Each structure stands twice: as C-alpha cells, then as structure tokens.
Amino acid sequence: MSAPSRTLPSPVLLAPQGPQLSPIVAGAWRMADWGFSPQQRLGWIQQCLDLGVSSFDHADIYGGYTVEQLFGEALALQPSLRQQMQLVSKCGIKLVSGARPGHGLNSYDTSRAHVLASVDASLRALRTDHLDLLLIHRPDFLMDPQALADTLADLRRAGKVLNFGVSNHRPSQLSLLHERLPLVTNQIELSPLQMGALADGTLDQCLSLGLRPMIWSPLAGGRLFTGEDAQARRVQAVLAQLAVQYGVSCATLAYAWILRHPSRPVPIAGSRRVAALQEALAALTLDLAAEDWYRVWEASMGHPVP
C-alpha cells in the first residue's frame, strides 16, 4: 500500500508584489554548529521540502561567514532542488573575521561596493544564480537611501536578486528605503518574551503597507522553555496551561501566539530537528482565542492590560 498523502501548507504572499514563501521558513543560522556532513545537510534540506517548508533563511555573516557555503555544498549534491526552494539572505553587517580580512572593525555598511560584493559572495557560496529575497540586515546610520535603492534596483535588473526587504529596521528607517524602492518585508524579533514590535509601530507599519513581517527567534532562542527569570517563568506557566487546553505542545502554542497577529507574520524555525519544524507547522491550523492571546501578553508584561 502506498503511504497516505499529506497536505502541504500553501505558500503565502509577503507583499502585494510578491514573493511567495512557505508560511514557516527554515532558519540556517546555526548550521555551522550542527556538525552535519554535506549528505546530512542535504537530508535536512530534503526533509524541510517534504514538509512544505520551501524557504530557507540565511545571512552572509552566519557561522562566521560559513553557513551559506555549507548550505551550497549540500545543494550541489542535488542541484535540482534549487527549483523547489526560495533562498533568503541578508547583508549590511561587517564583522572582523579571517574570512573577510578587509574588515577592520565591526560596523554596518550599505555602500554600493559592499552590497554588490556581499551579494556576489552569497551567490557563489549558495551555488545559485539569484536570491529570491535580500534583506538589509541592520540599519546603517550612514545609509544613503537613494544610493542604496539604486544599487538594489541594479541587482534586480541584473537578475541577481528578485525581491528586497529589511531586517531589524524601525518604521522610519524602513520608510526611507521603501519610498524609493518597494520592499516586501521587515524581518524582526517577536516572541512571547520579546514584544517590543507590538508597541513601537513596527507591526502597525507592516499592516499599513501590506507587508508580512518575517519573525526571527520566535521561541526567544530557547529561553521560552529554559529561562529561569520571573518573566520566563510566568510565560512558561501560561503556555503550559494553554497547551493542555488546545492539545498541542508549548512550542506550537508559542508559534500560534505569533501567527494570531493580523499582520500575518511568517516565523523562522531555526532548528535541525524535523520535530521542531512540525511543531511550528502545527500552529498554522490552531485558532487561538483572543483572550488566550492576551493571557500570554499579560504573563509576559507582568500586569493586566491598562
């Protein structure tokens, strides 16, 4: 008998002009720490695709400028998989590293020369001819928004990058670039332990512009389950109670809390464990009641709504 068919999650549109990503994105940030062989990395990529997680999040600096290369080595073992996935990467941070001997200081750089060189390096490392999405990793205090927009437009004309966004940008910083070149997302931190984006206008702007935010560290880097501070303990208690009520894991409940926001976030699950991806995917069909969402909010803030 053949195995029962599995319904895969439908892709989501990040912005009116695109692109489409999987509703849960696989994060490769820690791949250099996994100790995987190229074949094992390929196996992880294939498992993600089999689950319907077709989008992979990178940055040039991850793993001390090694993760993109590790991913590219695995992809080279089965290059046809590139047609089934979307590759996201970031640039704009310069770290002092043996891999980048020209960097004399940790800094930000959105100059034309640095962005073009970073994209070319990412393409070589990932063994691909284009990125589906490029994000400016951090706000550059010296950014010339028109010059950067012109550089990004040139990358699009060259076919090297199809779409652009930012990461960790405040609303005013995103607007400076978005006014000159349409962006598709702001990749930000959001979790039941880190809720600044709810109050600082970041998610409001995403709603206003019709941009789905991408969410990094949705489980607070594991602190959501292992933290021993007062905030973490309060949230852990509420998540455990609600997880039993909804019949899911605490991780699934945490993802559902993020997905409940009307900006329609796209979380990044940065784990080598297939089970962790499955917990994130399970949240896509969990209908979290508004009062339960606020129970988590209250536990995190340590007080009722004002």
Enumerate the active-site residues: 62
* SS3 readout for the chain: CCCCCCCCCCCEECCCCCCEECCCEEECCCHHHCCCCHHHHHHHHHHHHHCCCCEEECCCCHHHHCHHHHHHHHHCCCHHHHHHCEEEEEECEECCECCECCCCCCEECCCHHHHHHHHHHHHHHHCCCCECEEEECCCCCCCCHHHHHHHHHHHHHCCCECCEEEECCCHHHHHHHHCCCCCCCEEEECECCECHHHHCCHHHHHHHHCCCCEEECCCHHHHHHHCCCHHHHHHHHHHHHHHHHHCCCHHHHHHHHHHCCCCCCEEEECCCCHHHHHHHHHHHHCCCCHHHHHHHHHHHHCCCCC
